[in-house]
Amino acid sequence: MTRFQSLCFAVLTTTCGASAGAEPPAFEDDELTRGTAQPWRSEEMPSLFSKSETTVSTTFYSRNRHATDHAGDIHVNALSLGIDWRSGYAAGPWGFVGADVSGFTNLRVAPGTGLSEVLYHDYRDDADKTYATLAHAALKWRSTATGDGWQVRAGYTPLSVGTLGSSGGLHSHAYRGAEVKYHVAGWEFGYALADQFRNEWDNRFRPMTNAWHQNRDQYDGSASRIDFVHSAGIRYEAAADTYVDGGVGEGKRYRRNAQVAATRAWRTGEHGTVTTTGYALWGRYQAALGPVASPANEWHASTSVGYASGPFTVSMGFGVTHAPDSREMNFRLTPWANSDNRNQIQTWGQLDDFVWDGTRVIKASASYQIGPYIGVPGLAVGVSGIRGWAIKNPGRGDTSANEIDLSVTYDVKDGPLKGAGIGVFPARLRTNGFYGKSDRNDVKIIASYSKTF
């Protein structure tokens, strides 16, 4: 599994918590728009406090998204302050034990519009508000001081096993639950279970329900409770860029799913790398708590091929979705708890995942680290284009959609501001009369700094 690092900044999966003397994370590696954090890491042994890490972070997040029907408008300016403490491990007669605790406050800098998903959203007046919360509080245990053996994590924590994951925004979402993993010779076997969840736009953990609002505020009592979500998974990692990962999961009486993902990389010449990735997920609602009385099988599959050489990367992806019940494919085990690993989708964009029923989609993207060539190390630019077609449009003929995403990012590589970065992310989506989402224009500005002691 990749390292989970909880307090950070900007675009694909979370990265942060770099030590003061380590290379800062790449700006592109964050989950502010998407992604699943992987919570297990190999801390040094065995001191509980002398090997602990404390990360402080701050992130400014600005987003202006305009939709032609205004239903999807988002205008937000927020400032986040966070602290994350991760202990080392104390040796005992039955293994090694430690604890992780983190908290943050997300501040509304100016009045905004829409559900930003980074501030507390009060459904009573449909407004985003400033809040603070204890984000994670978990105990961790491992059977040995080496990488192999048993690992257990329990409490209020991100989870990542099989189809169960924890995406996030300025900070990771989390569950009240536990996961158990066993590592041996590149293999990992795991199981996770949880009965509560906290999105970043909520200030506390709540039971999961079969409605998106989780019985909050004026919706209290209007939805049925999903008793728990759980998943089992198996992963084989031959190298950091070559793995197979599969799993099955269930939201009790609501939905079952299964997935497999695989990546393989080949070296070409002295500096080039070709990487292929495939992902497939099957899901089916259960009649007891699901939205339909006679559920149908649903599935998504996508694949990509990428090439990287020095500062240049390019990739091409293709995806297909069949989701007659969800309409937009539900990768979760609940309606809205972000309890999934959909970061594996190979063809999504900033403004849409392109996983509506019937969708066929291609995506082409490229990025270039231009900084070293103009004397500004850490400066990069990126572009992606997405085209979807055969999208089911009830009451009308099938439609198409297209999206263009751009990025300009800068990471400070040296000096007192090492660990800081800033990025600008414009995006444009056109849906051609699609019932599920109108045309949208979007600009995100994200600036962050973090330091680990």
Q: How many CA atoms lie within 13 A of 239 on its CB side?
A: 8
Identify the CA nearest to 429 among candidates 399, 398, 392. 399
Establish if 374 belongs to a structural domain.
yes
First to last CA, the chain: 24
Helices (H), 191-279: none
Check whether 9 has a pLDDT greater than 80: no
Establish if 34 belongs to a structural domain.
no
Report pLDDT for 167. 78
Check whether 16 has a pLDDT greater than 50: no
Report pLDDT for 36. 31
Say how many domains are in the chain: 1
How much of the chain is in helix, strand and coil states, percent to nearest 5?
0, 55, 45
Q: How confident is the model at residue 338 (pLDDT cuts 50, 70, 90)?
A: low
CA angle 34/36/37 to nearest 5° reads 125
Report pLDDT for 4. 31
Query: Tokens for 238?
Result: 């031959």
Residue-wise pLDDT for 376-427, tens only, equals 999 999 999 999 999 999 988 899 999 999 999 999 988 889 989 999 999 9
Report pLDDT for 426. 98
Identify the CA nearest to 451 among candidates 83, 118, 100. 83
Q: Which domain holds residue 218?
A: 53-452
Check whether 48 has a pLDDT greater than 90: no
Report pLDDT for 255. 97
The residue-averaged pLDDT of 73-96 equals 93
Residue-wise pLDDT for 273-285, tens only, equals 999 999 999 999 9
Tell me the C-alpha distance between 218 and 397, whole Å: 38
Check whether 352 has a pLDDT greater than 80: yes
Establish if 230 belongs to a structural domain.
yes
Establish if 10 belongs to a structural domain.
no
- The CATH number linked to 428 is 2.40.160.10
Tell me the C-alpha distance between 167 and 343, whole Å: 8
Check whether 181 has a pLDDT greater than 90: yes
Tell me the C-alpha distance between 106 and 129, whole Å: 9
Residues 102/7, Cβ–Cβ less than 8 Å? yes
Check whether 11 has a pLDDT greater than 80: no
Establish if 6 belongs to a structural domain.
no
Report pLDDT for 395. 87
Strands 127-129 and 174-184: unpaired
The residue-averaged pLDDT of 159-176 equals 88
Q: How confident is the model at residue 55 (pLDDT cuts 50, 70, 90)?
A: very high
Residue-wise pLDDT for 98-141, tens only, equals 999 999 999 999 999 999 999 999 999 999 999 999 999 999 99
The CA dihedral of 297, 329, 195, 156, to the nearest 10 degrees, is 140
Establish if 15 belongs to a structural domain.
no
Report pLDDT for 42. 42
Q: Which has more pLDDT, 244 or 343? A: 244
Report pLDDT for 13. 31
- Give whole-number Cα distances, 84 to 5, 137, 164, in Å: 9, 10, 23
The residue-averaged pLDDT of 324-345 equals 86
What is the DSSP-derived secondary structure letter of residue 373?
H
Of 31-40, 159-168, 175-184, 298-307, which range is least confident? 31-40
Check whether 5 has a pLDDT greater than 70: no
Within 161-228, strands assigned E span 174-184, 187-198, 206-209, 225-226
Establish if 414 belongs to a structural domain.
yes
pTM of the full structure: 0.87
Looking at this protein, which amino acid is placed at residue 410?
Y
User: Which helix (H) or strand (E) segment is 105 a member of?
Assistant: strand 95-108
Query: Tokens for 110?
Result: 């100016």
Q: How confident is the model at residue 343 (pLDDT cuts 50, 70, 90)?
A: confident
Report pLDDT for 98. 93
Query: Tokens for 322?
Result: 């069949």
Establish if 43 belongs to a structural domain.
no
Q: How confident is the model at residue 49 (pLDDT cuts 50, 70, 90)?
A: confident
Tell me the C-alpha distance between 125 and 113, whole Å: 12
Exposure pattern of 377-386 as b/e (b: 16+ CB <10 Å)? ebbbebebeb
**271 Ramachandran zone, left/alpha/beta (phi>0; psi -120 to 50):** alpha
Cis status of the peptide bond prior to 46, with omega within 30 of 0: yes
The residue-averaged pLDDT of 187-202 equals 94
